[in-house]
């Protein structure tokens, strides 16, 4: 029994062994994921403000704000003295993103209030599993998915444009599931890209967190719509 317990402990240690990642890379990832957590909390705050207060509502200005803050992060030099400023821009972008998700979140809650926490927990599990897979893979194989992902995004955009005129339920469903798959794969790609960028001297952890933040939000958004549609159909039946 003791031997079996020891083997399990050893297997767990091996599973969580990130020694193939250099110490600077590990420290960089800690900064990236800490920043990502701050962004997700800020986005949750934005969603709360839209749904439960009259302080600010989602609209064209929040979209412009999200884009503006992202551009501010991009064009503000990555330097130690600029970290608080760029982190503030990141929080602003995340709050505007949360506000932008407010109408969808409200609509889904009107169908079934349990969908939002279910979608969030599902997104967290998906994000965690795909991140772990990317971190544990010693090869850089996921980096070669970049071209395919861009092509898939182009196809998704074309489908969306076509469906503006076609109004096809089947095409919309295909968009939802294809989009979910694409952004799940983006988690793998962006995680390995962060590692590779750090190894090449790029330590801009705030911008790297932006990439992962977008992946998380997109998976969450797609799951909310998918679960909301399923729940709505059950209620109609």
Digit-coded pLDDT (tens) for 38-76:
999 999 999 999 999 988 888 889 999 999 999 999 999
Instruction: Return the structure tokens found at 150.
Output: 């861009």
Q: Are 191 and 127 in contact (CB under 8 A)?
A: no
- Per the listing, tokens 């995004």 go with 153
User: Taking Cα atoms as reference points, which of 148, 127, 138 lies closest to residue 199?
Assistant: 138
Instruction: Give how far Cα 41 sits from Cα of 20, 75, 136, 185, 224, Å.
Output: 31, 24, 27, 23, 18
CA 72 centroid distance within chain: 20
Instruction: Return the structure tokens found at 206.
Output: 């705030």
Band (pLDDT 50/70/90 cuts) for residue 11 is very low
pLDDT of residue 189: 96
Q: Are 213 and 170 in contact (CB under 8 A)?
A: no
Say if residue 8's pLDDT is above 60: no
Query: 23: buried, middle or exposed (CB in 10 Å: 19+, 13-18, 0-12)?
Result: exposed
């Amino acid at each position: 029994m003791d031997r079996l317990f020891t083997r399990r402990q050893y297997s767990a240690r091996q599973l969580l062994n990130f020694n193939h990642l250099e110490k600077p890379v590990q420290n960089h990832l800690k900064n990236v994921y800490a920043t990502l957590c701050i962004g997700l909390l800020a986005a949750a705050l934005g969603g709360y403000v839209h749904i439960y207060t009259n302080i600010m509502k989602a609209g064209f200005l929040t979209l412009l704000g999200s884009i503006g803050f992202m551009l501010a992060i991009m064009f503000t030099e990555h330097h130690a003295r600029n970290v608080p400023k760029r982190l503030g821009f990141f929080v602003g972008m995340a709050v505007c993103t949360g506000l932008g998700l407010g109408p969808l979140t409200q609509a889904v809650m009107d169908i079934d209030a349990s969908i939002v926490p279910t979608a969030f927990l599902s997104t967290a599990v998906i994000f965690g599993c795909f991140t772990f897979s990317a971190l544990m893979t010693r090869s850089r194989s996921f980096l070669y998915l970049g071209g395919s992902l861009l092509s898939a995004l182009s196809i998704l955009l074309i489908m969306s444009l076509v469906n503006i005129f076609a109004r096809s339920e089947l095409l919309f469903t295909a968009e939802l599931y294809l989009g979910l798959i694409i952004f799940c794969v983006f988690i793998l790609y962006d995680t390995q890209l962060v590692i590779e960028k750090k190894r090449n001297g790029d330590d801009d952890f705030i911008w790297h967190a932006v990439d992962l933040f977008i992946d998380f939000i997109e998976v969450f958004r797609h799951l909310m719509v998918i679960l909301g549609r399923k729940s709505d159909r059950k209620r109609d039946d």
